[in-house]
Amino acid sequence: MVTTRTQNGVVRKATAKALLLADEADAFAIASDGEDDDGDFKVSKKRKVSSSKRQKASGNAAASSSKTKAAAKPRRRGKDLSLLPTMPLDILYEILCQLTPKDLLNLSRTNKLFRSTMFGNQMLTVWRAARDAFDAPEPPDGWTEQKWAGLLFETTCQSCGKRGVVNVDWLLLRRACGTCKRAHLIYGPRIKSRFPGYDPEMLEYVPHTHTSAWTKGWWSNRTNSKFYWDDDIEEVADVYNYGYDEDWIDDRKELIAERAEMVKVYQDWLEQMDKFKGNATAENREKRLEAVKARFREEGYEDRDLDKAISVYSSGIFAGTPHVTNAVWSRIRPKLEPEVQRTMNERIMADLKPLVDERMAILAGLYDAYLNKLRPSESCYCPPIDFLRVNPDVIKVVEADEDIDITEKDFQPIVEKFGEYVSKYQDDTEKELLKLMPVDTEGVEDPLQLARVVLRRDRRARPELYRYTSNSMEPEDSFLIGRDMVCAHTWERRRRMELRPGVFADVPSKYELNSDVSKACSSIIIIAGLPQETATIAEMDAKDARFVCKLCVSMNGYNVFTWRAAAQHVWLGGNPNHSMRLATQEEEKMSKENELALREGTKAWSCNHCRAFLEPSASRTKPVVLEHLKSEHGITADDANLDEDYFVNQRCRHAYEAPYLIPEPDAERFKCLCYRCSRHPPDTLHSKETLSLCVNRYPFKRFEDMVSGIDYEIIPRPSADEKVVEASSSAGDSTES
């Protein structure tokens, strides 16, 4: 026979662990709103319907009466406590003894009937059993079990009701928030100003504490400061001012002394509860973690990925009930599954990487064969093999299972589409470049061909490469003018692209606008006499002006720059824009007469019949390329045509447009040794004019203020046998004569 009553009439005592685990589960259920999918539906209030809507509804019902009605889904009955008071008292005891003190407090606040029942003398056994389950201390004299349970187990301020108040002042036996402490706690010496009519001697019978809302850290250990609660002062004052006896004095002193003695007991119990609660919470989290892992195992994931991807601190596991229902799983799965997939993909790709590299090497050989069929002047604009790594067709082949032997035959469908893939990549790159154009280029037909637009490789391609320096790029990578220089540019550094969670591939880096060099180019365009907003590269090349830096004049002479080289010199040397001037007709003529021989001797030429000299490091001088054409391709120098048989490699444009040095005719001008020079080595010789220009660049310096013999010294011209460091045309460099 099933019985619901204890046979001996004794209420069974629930264990502290069981009660605390149940209490933790309830708390987590509240924190993770809506986790239970097996009930717990709230009974919603039925909304009143207006007469017009009732009439319309009845009409619709009559019109649809001929239709077959679907079977109505039975509605679950909402859970409530309406039947609890009707139970026999001994059964009610059995139920209540399974609750925590906090649950009993919540139950007593349901309505007046529950309150009168829970606060009755017949329920004292239940309250004591709940308190004993947690090994809580006995309530102080004058405290009921209910009031004591509220202080120990609730976390609301007893004055204002604010939640989340953790600390209890055991000397005052109050749980108060910081705001209420500031409002009610009174410092002992200030009692007279707050209560001018009260006798300060009565404070001897008022409970006091040594901490206030402001005492923190070291001050919390001080015992000479006393703070009193204003309600306690008024309570004692009512008796003190209207008569008291010796028994009352003894009782008050005993109360204060007892509280001081019990503080250690209360604190030890609270620390034990915190530790026990932490263990219970950790146990709940471990159970929830294991339940979540079981769900993932059902989906096909492995423990080695789950152990690495999720833990008790993962979102969705740290807080919640140990039981993971379908509703809980549907909510936390989107949070956790991406990390599990990422971990699984990382593991799979780490095992597959050697095979992927081998297969990409096969594809690279096929791609090189495709490029060899193109003229080098065309293939130099084709992207490197890395751009194919993110192609879906390539991914299917290179990431095939380990047991599949991949050969060149498997790549044939991809090889047939090489031209299509390259064209699409070039079109996408063109669109990306147009997005980088300055705002004021809107309406320009081809903004990439503007002379003032300068691009560079994106320095954020691999952030780890720039941890210790803000600009580790070569000047050639930061100074790209025009579509030809940009599209032909190669850079060994790659950017990481995420193919899917946890799987990355190195692909060609992108570009960004170099605003500093763009400003330098604008200044050169203005000096050339063209409008900076609309001047194109073709117009600047057609003008073919030459420029001279007024600051960079040395004993050896001074450089004459093309417009590209002049803009780069202004940017690299940190020179102000006004340091440049147009070259005179004589300087321009001398420069152009000698540039031809200089450029032919520059390693910037490539063969247009093979890719032997296509890479920047492999480019050769013009005579070497012409000899190559004769020996390898049977084309003599007289028959070789520029851009058809050989061409200027756009990847070497910077070397091709190197400045021409005009010798200094009057070296005797260089007699000044500057003691204040920070730009050149300390033994660099200057002319007075050059020194004046260098000094006057700074607003806080003037050459007129410099004193001969202190700031600079005029020295005689050194002999031919002596070596003197002279000012160079580029900042920080030096030459010896």
Q: For 420-432, what is each residue's pLDDT tens digit? A: 999 999 999 999 9
Helix ranges (H only) for 5-69 are 16-31, 51-63
pLDDT digits (tens, 9 = 90+) for 628-685: 999 999 999 999 999 999 999 998 988 998 899 988 766 666 667 666 666 666 666 6
**Residue 655 φ/ψ, nearest 5 degrees:** -70, -35
Is the pLDDT reported for residue 210 higher than 70?
Answer: yes
- Which residues does residue 547 pair with via DSSP β-bridges, in sequence order? 561, 582
Contacts of 655 (CB under 8 A, 6+ apart): 602, 603, 604
Residue type, 540: M
How far apart are the C-alpha atoms of 567 and 653, rounded to whole Å? Answer: 14
Determine what percent of the chain is predicted with pLDDT higher than 90: 36
Contacts for 151 with CB less than 8 Å, ≥ 6 apart: 158, 168, 173, 174, 175
**pLDDT above 70: residue 502:** yes
Encoded amino acid at 675, one letter? Y
Burial of 591 (0-12, 13-18, 19+ CB in 10 A): buried
More confident residue, 697 or 609: 609
Q: How far apart are CA 411 and CA 630, in angstroms?
A: 37
Closest of 707, 682, 677, 681 to residue 693, by C-alpha = 677
Strand partners, 512: 456
Query: What's the pLDDT band for 239 if we cut at 50, 70, 90?
Result: confident
**pLDDT band per the 50, 70, 90 thresholds, residue 463:** very low
Across 439-460, average pLDDT:
87
Closest CA to 519 of 478, 450, 592, 571: 571
Query: What is the pLDDT, as a whole number, of residue 561?
Result: 94
Tell me whether residue 27 is exposed, middle or buried, using C-beta atoms within 10 angstroms of its C-beta: 0 to 12, 13 to 18, 19 or more: middle
Residues 691-714, buried b or exposed e (16+ Cβ, 10 A)? bebbbeeeeeeeeeebeeeebbee
Q: For 508-526, what is the mean pLDDT?
A: 90
Q: How far apart are CA 664 and CA 29, in angstroms?
A: 87
pLDDT of residue 22: 47
Helix residue ranges per DSSP H, 212-245: 230-240
Distance between CA atoms of 551 and 580, rounded to whole angstroms? 8
Say yes or no to pLDDT of 270 above 90.
no
Token pair 């400061």: residue: 225
Choice between 471 and 207, residue whose per-residue pLDDT is larger: 207
- Cβ distance 184 to 231 under 8 Å? yes
Pairing of strands 227-229, 208-209: antiparallel
161: left (phi over 0), alpha (psi -120 to 50) or beta: left
Judge contact between 31 and 319, C-beta under 8 A.
Answer: yes
Q: Which two tokens stand for residue 78?
A: 């909402």
Q: How many CB atoms lie within 10 A of CB 200?
A: 11
Q: Are 11 and 125 in contact (CB under 8 A)?
A: yes
Alpha carbon distance 583, 544 (integer Å): 11
Check if the beta carbon of residue 649 is closer than 8 Å to that of residue 619.
yes
Q: Is the pLDDT of residue 24 over 60?
A: no
In the prediction, which pLDDT does 580 show? Answer: 87
Location of structure tokens 């900076």: 532
Phi and psi of 551, rounded to 5°? Answer: -90, -25
The 3-state DSSP class for residue 500 equals strand
Q: Which two tokens stand for residue 235?
A: 């309570």
Q: Which long-range contacts (CB under 8 A, 24 or more apart) does 534-541 make?
A: 534/444, 534/450, 535/450, 535/451, 535/452, 536/446, 536/449, 536/450, 536/451, 537/449, 537/450, 537/451, 537/481, 537/482, 538/449, 539/451, 540/451
Contact predicate 571/591, CB 8 Å: no
Q: What is the dihedral of CA 268, 274, 279, 284, to 10 degrees?
A: 150
| 600/612 Cα distance (integer angstroms) | 18
pLDDT, one tens digit per residue, over 597-608 is 999 999 999 999
Is a pLDDT exceeding 70 seen at residue 21? no
Query: Between 214 and 567, where is the model more confident?
Result: 567
Cα–Cα distances (Å) from 146 to 60, 348, 632, 634, in that order, read: 57, 60, 104, 108
How far, in Å, CA of 546 to CA of 553, rounded?
16
Neighbours of 737 (CB within 10 A): 15
Is residue 375 packed enough to be buried (19+ CB in 10 Å), middle (13-18) or exposed (0-12)?
A: middle
Q: What is the CA radius of gyration of the chain?
A: 44
pLDDT confidence of residue 68: 41
For residue 247, pLDDT over 60 is answered with yes
- SS3 letters for 137-196? CCCCCCCCHHHHHHHHHCCECCCCCCECCCCCECCCCECCCHHHHHHHEEEHHHHHHHCC
Answer yes or no: is pLDDT of 382 > 90.
yes
- Collect all residues with Cβ–Cβ distance below 8 Å to 415 and sequence separation of at least 6: 366, 370
Compare 325 and 17 and report the one with higher pLDDT: 325
Q: What's the pLDDT at 114?
A: 82
